[in-house]
Structure 1
Amino acid sequence: MSTLLKMLLLMLCCSQTVLAFEPGLAGFGLSVNGSRVPFNIFSISLMPGETAELKLEQAGTVSASGGKLEGSGKQWRWRAPASSGHHTLQVKAKGSTISLNVFVLRPASNIKNGFLGEYRMGEYQSQPLKGLASYQKPRGFIEVSKELAELQVSPHFTLGEFLCKQASSWPKYLILSEKLLVKLELTLQLFEKNGIDTSGVVVMSGYRTPWYNQSIGNSTKYSRHLYGGAADIYIDSAPRDGRMDDVNKDGKRDQNDAKYLYQLVDGWLSEDQETAHLRGGLSHYRANAAHGPFLHIDTRGHRARW
């Protein structure tokens, strides 16, 4: 083989297509029930029959895959149907589109003897922690089919990434906090600004049922995972091998990488006054026999560090 051919083959084997990070920001202002939608793909949850009030900063159009839609210009209203399921609202303005997933929840009142259908849930605490609204028993759950698990719920996350790890048949059920989605997306933007490739971000643990949380030995009966408001994540971009990358560039892959991510997020949240509504817990964990180091992020409503 000629030297030139060897060089060409080496260049081909070693070349990698590096895709620029796309934050997926919304191209216009939209709020739903008073909360701003910052991304061109986003998701909310409603109980059957509840209403979503949409306000656009510029006049636009809205189309819906189901439910009852009315309005025009900057003001729109969508009423959820009486049965649970997934619907899509396409909101268009200024030549841009926001795809809004709306999950109509399966009511928690359908849980019988700790099961929602054939899916084992366990039992939630009857009284919220310290009377906090964020720890009220859930009103309902997103029903997830195998196909729906692939649905993009924000620019960089799919619905299935947040499913509980317990073994079960389909459908499965979960809760997914809108604030958590926003916080995770902004966290990825923060990491990218600091030179971290987030293309391999992994949600190691998202939603957990009370039954599963207890089965893995977690004695915290009010874990934010049970309320769909927490995620344990790590960066596994290069090499993709199921472990945290060397994000702090010290030549090692250990808890210091999770600590580095922690320091970035903690500094950002402390300095940015606009993230007050995303206050929550933050911690980093070392590796053990079951997993590598990871970062815990939640949206409990008040600052917590451990």
Structure 2
Amino acid sequence: MAIKAYSYAKDGSKALSKNFHVREFRCKDHSDPIFIDDELVTLLQKIRDHFGKAVNINSAFRTASHNARQKKASKYSQHLYGKAADIWIAGVSVDALAAYAETLLPGKGGIGRYYTDGFVHVDVREVKSRWVTQ
């Protein structure tokens, strides 16, 4: 897959898939451009289709300066490359969401369970990484 650069001003409303648009992946610091990996969009769309409910994105692409201000962020976070999203679905538990993501990422990708904050981190890195944070 490929990482693409988009402009929020120019492409914010652009559909990336049936249910996802460029604006949903924007860094919380409101910067431009926005980097998004096609494989991440495909993963999120599969999750959306499986549960039949909106997938809410807390955080996707992050600039280095914004990432550095995050308490639990890795210095080399996949968010920096447009390859990660922190997601939740109303009425779906962290465990159920992570378990389904596991079926889509056997042997690769990152899946982190964040119970206190109520979301699951998913990313499309080449190696497998799993973690739990209370």
TM-score range, shorter chain: 0.7 to 0.9
Pick closer, same or farther for the CA change 1:207–1:44 going to 2, 3 Å. closer
Q: Distance in 2 between matches of 1:44 and 1:305?
A: 23
Relative contact order higher in (CA < 8 Å, ≥ 6 apart): 2
Question: In the alignment, which residue of structure 1 is the partner of 2:125?
Answer: 300
What TM-score do the two structures reach when normalised by structure 1? 0.39
Specify the SS of the correspondent of 1:152: coil
Alignment of 1:154-303 (within 5 A): 154-167=17-30, 172-192=32-52, 198=53, 200-218=54-72, 220-235=74-89, 245-247=90-92, 257-270=93-106, 279-287=108-116, 292-303=117-128
**Structure 1 runs (4+) greater than 3 angstroms displaced:** 267-270
Pick closer, same or farther for the CA change 1:222–1:282 going to 2, 3 Å. same
Q: CA deviation at 1:268?
A: 4.6
Q: Distance in 1 between matches of 2:74 and 2:48?
A: 28
What TM-score do the two structures reach when normalised by structure 2? 0.84
How many aligned residue pairs are there?
131
Pick closer, same or farther for the CA change 1:226–1:167 going to 2, 3 Å. same
Pick closer, same or farther for the CA change 1:260–1:167 going to 2, 3 Å. same
Q: Distance in 2 between matches of 1:219 and 1:265?
A: 20
Q: Distance in 2 between matches of 1:219 and 1:294?
A: 14
Q: Distance in 2 between matches of 1:231 and 1:284?
A: 12
Contact 2:12 2:22 in 1 (8 A): yes
Pick closer, same or farther for the CA change 1:258–1:228 going to 2, 3 Å. same
Pick closer, same or farther for the CA change 1:217–1:188 going to 2, 3 Å. same
Q: Distance in 1 between matches of 2:49 and 2:30?
A: 33
Q: Distance in 2 between matches of 1:264 and 1:222?
A: 25
Deviations 1:46-103 (A, max 9, x none): xxxxxxxxxxxxxxxxxxxxxxxxxxxxxxxxxxxxxxxxxxxxxxxxxxxxxxxxxx
Q: 1:148 is aligned with what amino acid?
A: D
Q: CA deviation at 1:216?
A: 2.3
Structure 2, unmatched stretches of 5+, are: none
| Superposition RMSD in Å | 2.2
Higher-helix-fraction structure: 2
**Percent identity between the aligned chains?**
31
Q: Distance in 1 between matches of 2:26 and 2:105?
A: 27
The answer as to 2:8 corresponding to 1:144 is yes
- Which structure has the larger Rg over C-alpha atoms? 1
Deviations 1:135-171 (A, max 9, x none): xxxxxx43321x5211111111000000000145xxx
Question: In the alignment, which residue of structure 2 is the partner of 1:84?
Answer: none
Q: 2:79 is aligned with what amino acid?
A: H
Specify the SS of the correspondent of 2:27: coil
